[in-house]
């Protein structure tokens, strides 16, 4: 009997441990889903996933704050500032001693990089979708690819990257920024040639080309626009992988990048100007 009780106790411990491990893995997968939905701009689905997680798990403070930050971000992106601000205030009040509270207060004051001047482009009814967004206090970057290739952006043949940044000492002119873009492209593989298409004091457009080098280094052809405003500088890049740009495609993307909109976001409202 004693042996049976010991065996039963051992089995119960294993079952509890197994359930805990399974729950931990499920939580990890659900967090990954939330992150994916946010990056893809699927804000409604992301909020629904977060609400479901709050009902399904007993979360520690860090996990709760992370989810609430995602949720408030989604509401802000959906044009629901009241709900977003309520979320940020709740984070600041509930976990005041954390980095989440610091960031929540910055978002309430519209001080983070994506809450200030940035650029957007029109894909002219072509089906593209966002695959990544990253930001900090000084910059915001977003990446897009065709919807048909969004399941695996790393292999997409076409990409658009939009970056808006605060000025730095080394960014004095559009050409100096283009030199940095060229240097970064070369850093990741092989010589890069740059051809100037248009340029004035505050705006410039270049074509950038990197030939295929070795088995792992793919051919890249890009159109790059650098724009200076009174507040920030903006870099807009269209890239075709594994192929040169045909003249017609180059002109199409020069036109699209030139028609980019400058967006200025304030805490209570958003203003746009061409």
Q: Is the pLDDT at 155 greater than 50, yes or no? A: yes
User: Which pair of tokens denotes residue 136?
Assistant: 């900090």
User: Model confidence over 1-40: pLDDT tens digits?
Assistant: 445 445 444 444 444 445 557 878 889 999 999 999 999 9
Q: Is the pLDDT at 107 greater than 50, yes or no? A: yes
Please provide residue 192's backbone torsions phi and psi, each rounded to the nearest 5 degrees. -125, 130
Mean pLDDT of 228-256: 93
Question: What is residue 23's predicted lDDT score, i.e. its pLDDT?
Answer: 78
Question: What is residue 16's predicted lDDT score, i.e. its pLDDT?
Answer: 43
Mean pLDDT of 56-65: 92
CATH topology of domain 2-109: 1.25.40
pTM: 0.83
The answer to whether domain 114-273 has CATH 3.30.200 is no
Domain boundaries, the chain: 2-109, 114-273
State the DSSP string of 165-227. Answer: EE--TT--SHHHHHHHHHHHHHHTSS--EEEEEEE-SSEEEEEEEE--BTTTB--EEEEEEEE
Q: Is the pLDDT at 186 greater than 80, yes or no? A: yes
Question: What is residue 225's predicted lDDT score, i.e. its pLDDT?
Answer: 97
Please provide residue 120's backbone torsions phi and psi, each rounded to the nearest 5 degrees. -135, 150
| Cβ partners under 8 Å of residue 201, min gap 6 | 173, 228
DSSP state letter for 156 = -
Question: What is residue 188's predicted lDDT score, i.e. its pLDDT?
Answer: 74
User: Model confidence over 112-125: pLDDT tens digits?
Assistant: 999 999 999 999 88
Please provide residue 123's backbone torsions phi and psi, each rounded to the nearest 5 degrees. -90, 10
Question: What is residue 20's predicted lDDT score, i.e. its pLDDT?
Answer: 57
Task: Using the structure block, give the residue that is written with the tokens 């997968």.
Answer: 29
């Amino acid at each position: 009997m004693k042996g049976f009780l010991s065996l039963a106790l051992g089995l119960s411990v294993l079952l509890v441990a197994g359930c805990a491990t399974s729950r931990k893995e499920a939580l990890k997968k659900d967090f990954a889903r939330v992150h994916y939905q946010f990056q893809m701009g699927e804000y409604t689905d992301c909020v629904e996933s977060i609400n479901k997680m709050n009902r399904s798990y007993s979360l520690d403070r860090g996990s709760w704050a992370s989810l609430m930050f995602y949720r408030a971000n989604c509401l802000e992106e959906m044009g629901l500032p009241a709900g977003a601000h309520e979320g940020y205030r709740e984070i600041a009040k509930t976990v005041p001693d954390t980095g989440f509270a610091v960031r929540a207060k910055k978002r309430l004051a519209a001080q983070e990089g994506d809450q200030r001047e940035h650029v957007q482009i029109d894909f002219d009814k072509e089906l593209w979708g966002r695959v990544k967004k990253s930001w900090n206090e000084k910059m915001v970057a977003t990446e897009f690819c065709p919807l048909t290739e969004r399941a695996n952006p790393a292999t997409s043949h076409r990409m658009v990257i939009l970056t808006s940044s605060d000025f730095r000492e080394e960014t004095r002119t559009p050409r100096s920024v283009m030199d940095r873009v060229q240097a970064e492209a070369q850093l990741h593989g092989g010589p890069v040639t740059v051809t100037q298409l248009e340029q004035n004091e505050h705006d410039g457009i270049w074509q950038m080309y990197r030939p295929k080098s070795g088995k792992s280094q793919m051919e890249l052809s890009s159109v790059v626009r650098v724009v200076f405003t009174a507040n920030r500088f903006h870099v807009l890049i269209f890239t075709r992988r594994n192929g040169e740009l045909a003249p017609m495609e180059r002109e199409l993307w020069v036109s699209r990048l030139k028609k980019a909109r400058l967006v200025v976001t304030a805490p209570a409202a958003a203003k746009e100007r061409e």
